[in-house]
Structure 1
Amino acid sequence: MTKFIIFTDLHMVPEGMSIIGIDPYRRLAAGIAHVNRYHADADRVIFAGDLAHGADRASYERLKALLGELNPPAAVMIGNHDRREAFLDVFDEAPTDDNGFVQQVIDFADCRAILLDTLFAPPYDYPVSHAGYLCDRRLGWLDRQLASAGDRPVLIFMHHPPHVTGFVGIDMFRLINEEDFYGLVRRHGNVRHIFAGHVHRTISGSSRGIPFSVFKSTVHQQPMPFDIPDASLSVDEPAAYGIALVTRDGVLVHTEDYEIAKRDAAVA
């Protein structure tokens, strides 16, 4: 059984800064300590993009130092708040594909994990580049990784959801070529689950017959009313990470609101 921990939307900032009064460093540090205590046996901890709020070097360096405290092995992805070049300047050991996109494949005994780069940039033309995109080169790479998976079931990790989530504002900035993505994925027929972030909410469901899970941020969350057109609104609610277990029968997905979890409570 392979165990994944999934953090997303870390929005790291330089020391002394905050987001709506929240310290992203403190909240992520608490999450890493929680994983070290309760999930040190994780096969991989995935950090699914929006690593640095302003894509600045100081934030990436601060994040890299903090990830050094994590006991299980990590895999790091980028999202719309990141800048590929700035990220790779600091995380210079991060795997990339032949075209320089921050994508990688990790094989386990019972599954293949494919981590995608959905950053719609450069140019960094906000707000347009807050949406996700998979160009022909990235889709071609994904095609090859799906084809070579053999008998392994495939899990795809991507920052942008390739489907609507019900939130009017943020859905405008999902993966914009979702039909290209799903056409490719369904043709291969070996993708068992899709994991994403970006929305700052815990969401589960299925699209085009494939189950998906979206996880909350480690910092601020999306306000719950679905019809809010402004995707930038945020609310201070508990941070969380996802837990995915690959079993003989399929994929199990949990979420842990680690700031309020009472793991050491006595059994009545």
Structure 2
Amino acid sequence: MQKILVFTDIHLVPEGETIIGLDPLARFAQGMAHALDHHPDAARVVLCGDLSHNAAPPEYARLRAALDTCPLPVSLMLGNHDRRAPFLGAFPDADRMDTGHIQHVTDLPGYRLICLDTLNEEADDTHSGWLCAARLDWLDAALAGADDRRLIVFTHHPPIDTGFKGMDWIGLKNRADLVARLNTAGNVAQIVSGHIHRTIQGSAGGIPVAIFKSPCHQMPMALGYQDSSLSIAEPGAYGLLLLTDEGVIVHSEDFTLPPTEAQTYT
């Protein structure tokens, strides 16, 4: 069994600033410490976009400093709050395509992890996602090269509606193109996304979809609301994927809950 740690929607802000009274960097550091303490045998950490809140260079510099001591390999992805130029200023090696798109593949025994760049910097609504022809072509090649491995596809914007109307409005606009390609591949075991700031399970074309919460601020359980900026100080979380011979097992860990001692019951 292999483990993958997933953090999404970190939203780092400049030093001294907060989001609804929460310090994103402190929350992320707390979550990473918890994850590394409980799962030091993880194969990799995936940061699933919205690394910064304002796409400002100092925010990416803070992230780089926070990751300097991480003992595990890290896959970095972009979300709607990110921008490629300032991100690449702090992480110049992250442009694996040499096109400015932050997409990459990691092969593990029996599995291939595919991280997609759904950021649309030209979106009229500012925050929706899009996969252009170049990115979809790259995906086709990544899918075709997986051989007999199971595939796990990571996106910031989920490929499904979630019931939160404001967030769904700024979702992945051409998700049908993505789902069609994944279904054609035939060996996609799991899609993992962020963006919504809630723990959600769903299905895209029959493929399981797991959406994880932020380590910082969450979307309140307000189905149907149009406002995509609603936030609440619920427990922060990270995701844990267990890659087994039978398939993918998905867990979510609320790491900010007070520690409690396990007890037996009869």
Q: Is the 8 A contact 1:7 1:241 kept in 2?
A: yes
Paired residue secondary structure (1:3): strand
Partner of 1:173: 170
What pairs with 1:7-18 in structure 2 (closer than 5 Å)?
A: 7-18=7-18
Matched with 1:265 is 261
Q: Provide the TM-score with structure 1 as the length reference.
A: 0.95
In the alignment, structure 2 segments of 5+ residues that lack a partner are: none
| Aligned-residue offset at 1:98 | 3.9
Give the CA deviation at 1:67: 1.3
Match of 2:127 among 130, 137, 151: 130
Q: Does 1:164 align with 2:145?
A: no
Distance 2:151 2:235 in 1: 30
**Equivalent position of 2:101 in the other structure:** 101
Q: Normalization by structure 2: what TM-score?
A: 0.96
Match of 1:116 in 2: 116
Letter in 2 for 1:181: L
- Cα shift at 1:128: 1.6
The secondary structure found in structure 1 opposite 2:143 is: helix
Q: Which residue of the partner structure matches residue 39 of structure 2?
A: 39
Residue type at the aligned position of 1:189: G
Whole-Å separation in 2 of the counterparts to 1:259 and 1:57: 28
Specify the code of the residue in structure 2 equivalent to 1:77: M
**Aligned 8 A contact 1:168 1:227 in 2:** yes
Note the C-alpha offset of 1:99. 2.2
Q: Note the C-alpha offset of 1:207.
A: 2.0
Among residues 148, 155, 158, which one is paired with 2:152 in the alignment? Answer: 155
Moved more, 105-114 or 30-39: 30-39
Residue 52 (structure 1) aligns with: 52
Q: 2:188 aligns with which of 187, 191, 201?
A: 191
- State the shift of 1:96 in Å: 2.1
Query: Quick check: 1:2–1:110 contact (8 Å CA) kept in 2?
Result: no
Structure 1 unaligned spans of 5+ = none
Identity %: 47
Q: Which residue of 1 aligns with 2:89?
A: 89
**Shift in Å at residue 95 of structure 1?**
4.1
> 2:160–2:202: 8 Å Cα contact kept in structure 1?
no
Tell whether the 8 Å contact from 2:160 to 2:203 is kept in structure 1 after alignment.
no
The size of the alignment, in residue pairs, is 264
For residues 178-226 of structure 1, what are the alpha-carbon distances to aligned partners after superposition, in whole Å with 9 as ceiling and x for unaligned?
1111111111111110000000000012121000100001111001010
Confirm or deny that 1:62 pairs with 2:58: no
State yes or no: 1:231 paired with 2:232. Answer: no
Cα RMSD between the aligned structures?
Answer: 1.3
Give, as a single letter, the amino acid of the residue that structure 1 aligns with 2:195: H
